[in-house]
Structure formats: structure tokens, C-alpha cells
Structure 1
């Protein structure tokens, strides 16, 4: 009987502990789904694909979705991974010579470059989606701005069609 009472008491204490942790201030802050979009600022380079914290993005329109905290907090980061086609493989041969086409395709895929970077997400009052800006020298800027690229209030001012410099600074 003592063992049964002890087990019930222990079970009750465990339940109270579990229930109270969900109400503690350290519980995760509310988040909302936001679109992911990208803008390539580099002329002569194609961004084939990219992800933000594992969620896929798009350079044409918006992709859904990434979870962003409703309230910005310091230390909020985005892990960006992307693949670039430096356009060094040349034009494809015709399909009539299938072996040459397959060799070209293999060369094309081998020329793709993969990059990754972790960047701070700048302060926002309201998360209106996350836009990733691909800049020369494999640099990236992100914003959760509600304004569109080119609007005076938009925080990223770099122009489109920027040239890749002859050499990039070493980080």
C-alpha cells in the first residue's frame, strides 16, 4: 500500500512539473509561417536553388514557408544554403548526338557550386516573409521587411546585375 501511495504521489508531482513548464516564460515565443523569396544581384550567375533553415526558397515568386517568430529577438539567424551555376559549361549540343549531350550535362552539373552562410536576421516589427539577396563574392543579406525591393523604405539597396569582382576578399 505504501508503494502504491508513493507511486501516485510521484506521478502527481511529475504531472504538476510537466504542466507548469508549458506556462513558464521560457516557453517558445509564438511564430508564424512566412514566405521565402530570393533576389539574385549577380550578373552572369544563376542561383539554381536555395534553402533557409532547411526550407526551400524561390527566385521566381514566393515559396511557402518558413517559421519566423512573431516578435524579433536578438541572435535570430538564418542558415542559407544555395547552389550556383557559374555558366561555364557552354551551350548544349543537340539531342541527336545523345552521348555528347550526356557528357555536356555531366560537365554542367560538375560546374555547379554549393555555398552556405549563417547570417543575422535584422530587426523587424512584423515578419512579412524573408527575402534573401544573393550578392557578389558569395555574400548574402536577408530581410523580413514588409516593403518591396526598390521601395525607398526597403533596407537592401544593392542594385541588380552587379559584376563579380576579379578577386573577392577572404573572410
Structure 2
């Protein structure tokens, strides 16, 4: 083998080895999870595909918690499983006469917690061009919507610009 041919062979072999070591673009992306509660209940806790989200008071929004996971590229039939715990009377214990955290108060709180409800639903994630924050909207009638785009709530292109306060009788159409 001649010297130039030998060098060319080494160069081609090196390029082949290096290209095998290059990182492949990841299919899944990590992103923060945030929630929007459009109801009078409190969302004590929630998860999206197992990734936890923050507590959200009535008609409030929760800060971001890291991290959920969504595909880099949207695909038809993309869904999310949302599980949550709901307190239908989040301000009820504020008016109790018992001293907070006393035995009587703790007993009453245990009874109050008995009214919490737990829910689970699978929802579709609307099409996105660029994956971003995983946003969960809790709506009246235990309905939920999830988006995973790189838009902000309030942007006219955002798919779920619901009013901040919705009455429990206002069940959005699926």
C-alpha cells in the first residue's frame, strides 16, 4: 500500500469512528411543568406523565417545577396522563375556632382531608412547532387541558386562553 493511500485509509477510518461517536439528537426534551387553576377548588398536587407540578390555589397559577418530558417533535395522537388531588373547600379551615395544629384542629383537619378528591385523565396535547413548558389547565367539571408549546398564556396563538375564574357550572366543551 502506498503512503498516500495508507493516509487516506486512516483518515476515512478515523472519520467513520468519530461519526459513530457523535451524539444523536434526542427524541425527548425535558421541560418545566406549570399549572393554571381556573376553579374555586385548590389543586393540592398534580402530575403529568409522572412529573410533579406545584400546588395551585383557587383561581391561581403555580410556578414551574422541573421537569417533565415531551417529544422534540409533535406527533399525531400525542397524549398526557394527568393525575391530581383537589380540595373543594380550601378556605374552610381558615375560619375554624380551634387553635391551629392543636389536637382538636388536627382532628378536624383529618375530617376535612376526607373531602379531597383524586382524579386521573388522559388528554391530547395539541400540535406544537417547538416543544416548551408543559402547561396544565384545571377547569370546572374536573376537566383538564395540557399544552407543551413554547408560547405564553395570553398569546393569541395559545390554544387555551380561558378566563382566570370560571364557575363550576361552566363546563368547557371537549
TM-score by length of 1: 0.74
* Cα offset, 1:65, TM superposition: 0.6
1:51–1:57 contact (8 Å) kept in structure 2:
yes
* Cα offset, 1:99, TM superposition: 2.9
SS at the partner of 2:145?
Answer: strand
- Residue 164 of structure 2 corresponds to 160
RMSD of the alignment, in Å? Answer: 2.6
* Cα offset, 1:113, TM superposition: 0.7
| 85-94 or 64-73, larger mean C-alpha shift | 85-94
- 1:32 aligns to 2:29 (yes or no): yes
* Cα offset, 1:97, TM superposition: 8.4
- Residue 116 of structure 1 corresponds to 120
Change in 2 beyond 3 A, CA 1:103/1:150: same
Match of 1:69 among 52, 68, 71: 71
Aligned residues: 142
SS at the partner of 1:111?
Answer: coil
1:34–1:67 contact (8 Å) kept in structure 2:
yes
* 1:1-21: CA deviation from partner (whole Å, max 9, x where unpaired): xxxxxxxxxxxxxxxxxxxxx
- Residue 12 of structure 2 corresponds to none
Q: Separation in 1 of the partners of 2:141 and 2:101? A: 37
1:130–1:144 contact (8 Å) kept in structure 2:
yes
- 1:126 aligns to 2:123 (yes or no): no
SS at the partner of 1:62?
Answer: strand
Q: Separation in 2 of the partners of 1:56 and 1:107? A: 26
SS at the partner of 2:99?
Answer: coil
Match of 2:42 among 25, 41, 46: 46
* Cα offset, 1:50, TM superposition: 0.3
Q: Separation in 2 of the partners of 1:66 and 1:96? A: 36
